Amino acid sequence: MRKWIGQVDWCAPQVAWLVAAGVFLLRLPFCFAGPGFDADSYLFLVAAILSVDRGEYNASRGPGYIVPDIIGQLLAPHGWVYLNLLSSAIHMFCIPLFAAILRTTQVPNASILLWLYVLVPMNIVGYADVMVEYSLALLGILSGWWFFIRGQWVASTLLWGVGAAMRPSQGVFLFAVLLLTFWRYLGWRRALQAALLGCIPLILLWILPAYTLTGSIKIITEYLSYSLSLKKWLGHIWMRLIAPIGILPISILLYMVIKYFDLINHKIATNSNYFLCAVASIVIILLFLRHPFKSNYLLLGLPFIVYIISVFPKKAIATITLLAVAQNFIAIPYDAALYDPRPIGPGVLYTNLTDRLQLREEIYTLVQNANPNSVYIVHERTAWFITYELAKRNPQKWDYPPSRRGRIYDRERNTWFVGPSPGEEFEWTEPGSPIYATDAVYKRVLQERYPHLLPLVRRIPSKRGI
């Protein structure tokens, strides 16, 4: 059996489609468990439902994810499950496409590399998410890469531009990587032609719709700045990079990069695909390190990183693959719900699935059973999920103040749900209103920021770590 499995060309077209179907089935429990593992997943839902309720476009985030937002508006009123399934289904097309790239470029150990790509924890849970922009962007970029290796630069440029327009906060930088590759291997004239051609989908699918829907390009140009102390920055690196992937595969990967640096450098210097992958990997990693809040910032970089790994010996690739896959089941380190770090514990799949299920249960309980004339202090992600549920159930009986994200008012019960931001004063609450908080928010937020409220707060048992 083992010998037979080792002899299968997993990158062959029909076999790769079977792999893609298997991964889609593996994701189904996550698709039905909850909207996603990213706080922006809930912002995406809220923006979609607001757009439908108010009859005007509400952007989910800057710099504008126009096409994904419109897809969200079509499906979000019917439930987040449909968006999860769509995201996973779109990514299912990316798997045989990446397999075709590995097979066509004849990289060594292509079958192992394909398994590494599809089974790394981040890839399994990241595309079981309502934010369809990641799978749409990857489909466009991989399609463009496929035409690039076949020498069809016009199709490559247009498809890469389409992918970039789906997630411009990262896509425009990846498009610049393609232009740099053209410049190096095809000359400056072809790079200039590609730049002009690639601007067409960017204008048609991003800039022009953003202006048409909002009346300006402010959403594109306005920058939301973030500041982090070194301690918090390192904490995010631990929570969003090391814990989801695993410290062992990351350590071996870094060791192999150092050991085979000369070989990698030679490949980059002589092969356009390795050059493209190296620069794309660096760009994605730098964009993540700039604001390391979310693991799925790294999703678009995974195919490029896996391709670079092909220069390592087979045993090293197999070891990285096995350790990365093992992180799905036994996590080293363990970081359940990002607030319970331990050296070892249940894998990423268990942690992510239980967190989604517990969040869903908590939301439905709060929405259905909240007491009237009360204030509920919850995690920010919980507040956005509540916003979506209230708006979907009865758009006329809730309010979402535009000036204050994460503060939701249920008119029917005269009840507030609040995800407190730093410095929240709660000056708008009515005197004597009962205040409730989940256990986790009581411990992680109130004790640190609002100790004066503790005697007034009634704690709600919570299974979740956030």
Enumerate the domain spans of the chain: 2-328, 350-460
* Amino acid, single-letter form, for residue 305: I
In sequence order, the 6+-apart residues with CB closer than 8 A to the CB of 177 are: 276, 279, 280, 283
- Mean pLDDT, consecutive 10-residue stretches, the chain (466 aa), reads 66 96 97 87 88 87 94 94 97 98 96 97 95 97 97 96 96 97 94 95 96 90 76 86 93 96 96 97 95 90 98 97 96 70 85 89 86 86 83 69 64 83 66 82 79 83 60
Q: Please name the residue that has the structure tokens 């126009």.
A: 66
pTM of this structure = 0.92
Contact 71, 416 (CB under 8 A): no
Give the residues across from 439 on adjacent strands: none
Between strands 435-438 and 457-460, the pairing is parallel
Give the residues across from 341 on adjacent strands: 335
User: At how many degrees (to 10) do helices 153-166 and 133-149 cross?
Assistant: 170
| H-state helical runs in 205-301 | 208-214, 218-221, 230-237, 243-245, 247-259, 261-270, 272-290
Q: Which of 432, 396, 391, 392 is CA-nearest to residue 412?
A: 396
Helix (H) or strand (E) holding 330: strand 330-331
Helix (H) or strand (E) holding 342: strand 340-342
Helix (H) or strand (E) holding 346: strand 345-346
CA separation for the pair 205, 171 (Å, rounded)? 12
Query: Residues 338, 339, 344, CA angle at the centre, nearest 5°?
Result: 80
In sequence order, the 6+-apart residues with CB closer than 8 A to the CB of 5 are: none
pLDDT of residue 409: 81
pLDDT of residue 466: 44
pLDDT of residue 396: 65
Q: What is the DSSP letter of 419?
A: -
Contact 113, 306 (CB under 8 A): yes
pLDDT of residue 463: 64
* One-letter-per-residue 3-state SS of 229-248: CHHHHHHHHHHHHHHHHCHH
Contact 149, 273 (CB under 8 A): yes
CA separation for the pair 430, 407 (Å, rounded)? 15
- Helix or strand or coil: residue 169? helix
Between strands 435-438 and 375-377, the pairing is parallel
In sequence order, the 6+-apart residues with CB closer than 8 A to the CB of 65 are: 59, 133, 166, 167, 168
Query: Residues 374, 375, 380, CA angle at the centre, nearest 5°?
Result: 150
pLDDT of residue 341: 66
CA separation for the pair 439, 228 (Å, rounded)? 26
In sequence order, the 6+-apart residues with CB closer than 8 A to the CB of 313 are: none
Tokens at 319, concatenated:
């070891």
CA separation for the pair 175, 163 (Å, rounded)? 9
Helix (H) or strand (E) holding 448: helix 447-449
In sequence order, the 6+-apart residues with CB closer than 8 A to the CB of 401 are: 407, 409
Q: Please name the residue that has the structure tokens 């204050």.
A: 404
Contact 419, 386 (CB under 8 A): no
CA separation for the pair 448, 423 (Å, rounded)? 12
Tokens at 425, concatenated:
């004063």
pLDDT of residue 236: 85
The region, left, alpha or beta by phi > 0 then psi within -120 to 50, assigned to residue 374 is: beta
